[in-house]
A and B are shown apart, each in its own frame.
Chain A
Amino acid sequence: MSDWLARAVRHRSFMIGGILTFVLLALAFVSLFWTPNNPYRLNIRMRLKPPSLDYLLGTDAFGRDVVSQLMVGAQNSIVVGVIAVAIGLSLGVSLGLIGAARRGWLEELIMRFSDFTLAFPAVLSAILLTAIFGPGSLNSIVAIGIYNIPVFARLSRAAGNSIWARDFVTASRACGKGAFRITIEHVLPNIVPIIVVQATIQFAIAILAEAALSYLGLGTQPPTPSWGRMLNEAQTHVFTTPSLAIYPGLAIAFSVLGLNLLGDGLRDLIDPKLARQR
């Protein structure tokens, strides 16, 4: 264990990613109890003020404090990412593994379902969902989550199939092990690294997709602060007050970067084969 820790501390992207992710989590946590100013409070007379001691990054077009909004916006991004990936991962990997283990019509059905869901890109299904149920953050999270299901299903089926074709699986089958046991004992552990990589990417995509949806006005609704919506509101000020469009973009970029680096580092640390080679 101490060996693992020692390797973790020496692993550069794991450490950078860990620090960035920690900052993200810490900001979100602190904002539950304290922000420099009230992020919801409109103050028209203080609109578009440059940075000052009261407002470290200035104020937006409604006179709200940018720092406070960024802090509370972190909560939003975490919630969106976690739920959307959880939906996709739990359902998608299960379906993909079932498909790889069973083959035949069941696999066919699962893959057709995946094709069908993939035929509606997240933005499109979110537009349709919000058109029916009204715009809102829950609808956009569900749309992104649904979109994640076939991504994981296809990936774990494809990866699972190549594991099933390996000799050691054939040997296990000869020993009389059942499909479920082989899936749990051999297939799943072997596809974990590629799924971890994909999960970090999907987490990134979830945060980015939510930003895109909020940018289109379909995601998180006011007054809830969200980085995507801040970008939407800042866009018309990009020529006069470009900083308003830069901070939320940077916040998104750093969070996604941190999570990706962390995921990469984890993959290296989990997979001893790769670690030995380093």
Chain B
Amino acid sequence: MRRWSQLFAATVFSASLAFGPAIAQPRDTLVVGLQQEPTSLDPTADATASIDTIMSGNVFETLTTSTERGEVKPLLAKSWDVTPDGKAYTFHLNEGVKFTDGEALDSSVVKFAFDRAMAPDSVNPSKGIFSAISAIETPDPLTVVIRLKEPDAYFLNSMTMGDAAIVHPKTAAGNKTNPVGTGVYKLKQWSKGDRVVLERNPAHRDAARAALREVTFRVMPDPTAATAALMSGDVDAFPTIPAPETVEQFRKDPRFKVVVGTTEGEVILALNNGKKPFNDLRVRQAISYALNRQDIIDGAQAGLATPIGSHFPPHNPAYVDLTGRYPHDVAKAKALLKEAGYANGLEVSLQAIPFPYARRSAEIIAQQLGEAGINVKLINVEFPFWLAEVYKKKNYDMTIIAHTAPRDLGNYANGPEYFYGYDSPKFREMFADFRRTVDPAEQKKKLGDLQRFIADEAVHGFLFQLPQVGVYKADLKGYWTNAPELLMPLIDIAWVK
């Protein structure tokens, strides 16, 4: 039936060409605005998030991919089996898949791609997701068996990430500028710093499902330029608007639709647990009590964000609402500080990186902690400086950072060397136990326990979940509201006729 309707559409299309512009052509191009510039086009070699948004799932494909709710669904693998012990995954590949240069995809290519990502000289930014793999077997061209050292609750989700994209041995090295993938879109043009243009790959097995012929991603880091570009119609969609306060006017404008979803980005007031005074639980709790999350969200995010009480995204089915664990209570904060021996107040510094969420939250938090008797010295730093001094050398008191990677509760199991300086053998044990769990219901329960544990410990000030505030033309459909993965599947996006 679909084939017939397509043929019909093709006839109408050629007729419209023949008879001139009397019949309107269906809209099949889209211009998407992006805040962050892609520094490369290879998601397996660079941590820049916009590379994944543009390329992953569109130009490059992974074995599995994600739904908008974070569930795993087939992509290059049409199905898979898991052994009951959770230590071996058998993926059954789609037949006849070809790269855009004509090379065929088979199990040996999958093995090559993973071996490349795991190799000692690999610079894959998420190398850790492959660490559980012990062996990759290719019993036949369409079957890949991946054996794990021990069960990994995150494994199938991890395989949806752009870092696990399947690349071909012949073209892997050139993917940074000349990407060759198996996706339903292929690169048409890349003007660095300005735009990436993708066009539909007619040879793809699902090409008929992709309504858009050409998609242009334009880089617009400046919120004013972004807003102006939307207003003037230069851009049709902005999945993550650079400044949430600019959406107010789009809400009133019938030409646009504003969608507010959540991302995997937990914004935390990170405390250096490894040093005084933050190695004292009472001080950390005092800070948690001193924070007024709603004011922070109103002031820093124009009210558009979901408060969090632990390190976990609210859209996840395993989420537990812990925002009531330490309600805003200045008196209690002061009492705890006094108990910890800081009755006369406390002097600490707060380093803020140039992202608006961080700089704005920092100003508000400085005042809120000040009301509880914690005198905060605000230091604005550039991101490279932050990476070197705060992240690498742990040379800081407090800082604000969004942890945008999915499934990052494991950060708290990283030990005292990690920049949290947080060291809890109990949590490490609980987390390892969760990673070995195969049963989904058990997984969910254990995730809840993990969330409660770090909330009780008040490891950091947990602030809010970074929202995905998007502005789209009102007659556009099929896009994601939430962002459980760094993906923007273009195949489902279409103009309403």
Chain A interface (Cβ within 8 Å of chain B)?
A: 41-42, 44-45, 47, 61-63, 130-131, 134-135, 217, 221-223, 235-240
Contact B380 A240, beta carbon cutoff 8 Å: no
Contact A222 B382, beta carbon cutoff 8 Å: no
A131-B366 Cα distance, complex, nearest whole Å: 24
Please, which residues of chain B bring their CB within 8 A of the CB of A235? 223-224
Contact B363 A135, beta carbon cutoff 8 Å: no
B457 to chain A, nearest CB (A): 28
Please, which residues of chain B bring their CB within 8 A of the CB of A47? 298-299
A47-B300 Cα distance, complex, nearest whole Å: 11
B248 contacts the other chain (CB 8 A): yes
Task: Select which of B223, B298, B354, B381 is within 8 A of A236 by beta carbon.
Answer: B223
Contact B299 A42, beta carbon cutoff 8 Å: yes
Chain B interface (Cβ within 8 Å of chain A)?
A: 223-224, 227, 231, 242-243, 245-246, 248-249, 295, 298-299, 302, 354, 356, 359-360, 363-364, 366-367, 378-382, 384-385
A130-B356 Cα distance, complex, nearest whole Å: 19
Contact B299 A61, beta carbon cutoff 8 Å: yes
Residue of A whose beta carbon sits closest to that of B354: A217
Please, which residues of chain B bring their CB within 8 A of the CB of A223? 363, 366, 378
A236 to chain B, nearest CB (A): 4
Please, which residues of chain B bring their CB within 8 A of the CB of A238? 224, 227
Given A61-B299, A217-B380, A239:B363 Cβ within 8 A: no
Please, which residues of chain A bring their CB within 8 A of the CB of B298? 44-45, 47
10 more contacts with CB within 8 A, not counting A61-B299, A135-B382, A236-B243, are: A42-B364, A61-B302, A62-B360, A131-B385, A221-B378, A236-B227, A237-B245, A239-B227, A239-B246, A240-B246
Contact A42 B367, beta carbon cutoff 8 Å: yes
A267 to chain B, nearest CB (A): 38
Please, which residues of chain A bring their CB within 8 A of the CB of B354? 217
A42-B248 Cα distance, complex, nearest whole Å: 22
The 10 closest A-B pairs by CB, nearest first: A236-B243, A44-B295, A236-B223, A44-B299, A44-B298, A42-B367, A240-B248, A221-B380, A239-B249, A235-B224
Please, which residues of chain A bring their CB within 8 A of the CB of B384? 131
B43 to chain A, nearest CB (A): 28
A157-B32 Cα distance, complex, nearest whole Å: 54
Interface of A is mostly: loop
A222-B352 Cα distance, complex, nearest whole Å: 11
Task: Select which of A41, A45, A61, A63 is within 8 A of B245 by beta carbon.
Answer: A61
Task: Select which of B223, B242, B243, B363 is within 8 A of A62 by beta carbon.
Answer: B363
Residue of B whose beta carbon sits closest to that of A217: B354
A45-B360 Cα distance, complex, nearest whole Å: 15
Please, which residues of chain B bring their CB within 8 A of the CB of A63? 299
Contact B363 A42, beta carbon cutoff 8 Å: yes
Contact B385 A134, beta carbon cutoff 8 Å: yes
12 pairs across A/B with beta carbons < 8 Å?
A41-B367, A42-B367, A44-B295, A45-B295, A47-B298, A131-B385, A222-B380, A235-B223, A235-B224, A236-B224, A236-B227, A236-B242
A217-B248 Cα distance, complex, nearest whole Å: 24
A240-B245 Cα distance, complex, nearest whole Å: 9
Please, which residues of chain B bring their CB within 8 A of the CB of A61? 245, 299, 302, 360
Task: Select which of A42, A131, A135 is within 8 A of B380 by beta carbon.
Answer: A135
A63-B298 Cα distance, complex, nearest whole Å: 11
Please, which residues of chain A bring their CB within 8 A of the CB of B363? 42, 62, 222-223
Contact B245 A44, beta carbon cutoff 8 Å: no
Please, which residues of chain A bring their CB within 8 A of the CB of B246? 236-237, 239-240
Residue of B whose beta carbon sits closest to that of A222: B363
Please, which residues of chain B bring their CB within 8 A of the CB of A42? 299, 363-364, 367
A124 to chain B, nearest CB (A): 15
B303 to chain A, nearest CB (A): 9
Residue of A whose beta carbon sits closest to that of B298: A44
A253 to chain B, nearest CB (A): 19
Please, which residues of chain A bring their CB within 8 A of the CB of B242? 236
Contact A44 B364, beta carbon cutoff 8 Å: yes
A175-B117 Cα distance, complex, nearest whole Å: 84
A74-B352 Cα distance, complex, nearest whole Å: 26
Residue of B whose beta carbon sits closest to that of A221: B380
Please, which residues of chain A bring their CB within 8 A of the CB of B248? 240
B368 to chain A, nearest CB (A): 9
Residue of A whose beta carbon sits closest to that of B367: A42
A63-B296 Cα distance, complex, nearest whole Å: 12
A217-B380 Cα distance, complex, nearest whole Å: 9
Please, which residues of chain B bring their CB within 8 A of the CB of A237? 245-246
In this complex, which of B378, B381, B382, B384 has the most chain A Cβ atoms within 10 angstroms of its Cβ? B382
A44-B363 Cα distance, complex, nearest whole Å: 11
A236-B364 Cα distance, complex, nearest whole Å: 18
A223-B299 Cα distance, complex, nearest whole Å: 15
A240-B367 Cα distance, complex, nearest whole Å: 26
Please, which residues of chain A bring their CB within 8 A of the CB of B295? 44-45
Please, which residues of chain A bring their CB within 8 A of the CB of B299? 42, 44, 47, 61-63
A239-B243 Cα distance, complex, nearest whole Å: 12
Please, which residues of chain B bring their CB within 8 A of the CB of A240? 245-246, 248-249
Residue of A whose beta carbon sits closest to that of B356: A236
In this complex, which of A131, A223, A237 has the most chain B Cβ atoms within 10 angstroms of its Cβ? A237
A69 to chain B, nearest CB (A): 13
Residue of B whose beta carbon sits closest to that of A135: B380
Please, which residues of chain A bring their CB within 8 A of the CB of B366? 223
A235-B231 Cα distance, complex, nearest whole Å: 16
A44-B356 Cα distance, complex, nearest whole Å: 16
B358 to chain A, nearest CB (A): 12
Residue of A whose beta carbon sits closest to that of B247: A240
Please, which residues of chain B bring their CB within 8 A of the CB of A134? 379-382, 385
Contact B378 A236, beta carbon cutoff 8 Å: no
A62-B361 Cα distance, complex, nearest whole Å: 10
Residue of A whose beta carbon sits closest to that of B244: A236
Please, which residues of chain A bring their CB within 8 A of the CB of B224? 235-236, 238-239
A221-B385 Cα distance, complex, nearest whole Å: 16
A240-B227 Cα distance, complex, nearest whole Å: 11
Residue of A whose beta carbon sits closest to that of B241: A236
A177 to chain B, nearest CB (A): 54
Please, which residues of chain B bring their CB within 8 A of the CB of A45? 295, 298
